[in-house]
Amino acid sequence: MNNLLKKILFIDLIKGLLITFKTIFTTPVTIRYPKQKRPLEDGFRGRHAFVRDPETGKERCVACTKCAQVCPSQCIYIDYSINPETGARVLTKYEIDALRCIFCGYCEEVCPVNAIVLTEYFEYASYTREENYFNRDRLLINWDEFIGQYERKEYLNKFWHLPGIGRERLPVGKRQPNPIIGREESQ
């Protein structure tokens, strides 16, 4: 009898309409994307870029290959040659397959010269795979596009290590052995 009364009086329909009328007059939760943008969280990882050295205009990379070694998805390809005069490595090829990348940020964490960065630029799409295959020149263009839209024209990534900050070690006499790993560590 109770079910029959609910069906005749459309109780469920009325309950649904009441919920609809309540939500009509509340503020919407959705963000209208092209006009409204969500603020990015700290540590957001977007499109890859090579940081351009302001003095030379070239990339900062010294071809140490640490980023390629630490990359879990193996999406970074580096080739270098040795300068016969100085004995230093010279970068000849640097490529990133962004479609394979998992955006973990290990490459920028391990870079000793802060050459690679995952920018806060996320609005990029393409119709072909080749457009998401970044070579050295494209990585520099990515940096120019990113820093051009960045307000302060200087960028400090939270993963970068500033020289002299956070890497100091106490003199050997002030260190104490760590009982867990058996090595000396700073106090």
Residue 71 assigned to a binding site: yes
Residue 36: Cβ within 10 Å count: 8
Residue 107 assigned to a binding site: yes
Kindly report the length of the chain.
187
Q: How far is CA 93 from the centre of its chain?
A: 22
Residue 75 assigned to a binding site: no
Both structure tokens of 112 = 């000793």
Instruction: Report the C-alpha gap between 9 and 139 in whole angstroms.
Output: 66
Q: Does residue 26 sit in helix, strand or coil?
A: coil
* Sign of the dihedral defined by the CA atoms of residues 112, 92, 53, 147, in that order: negative
DSSP assigned state of 59: B
Q: Where do we find the tokens 């020149």?
A: 137
Selection from 112, 50, 115, 102 nearest residue 74 by Cα: 102
- Specify binding-site residues for [4Fe-4S] cluster: 61, 64, 67, 71, 101, 104, 107, 111
- Specify binding-site residues: 61, 64, 67, 71, 101, 104, 107, 111
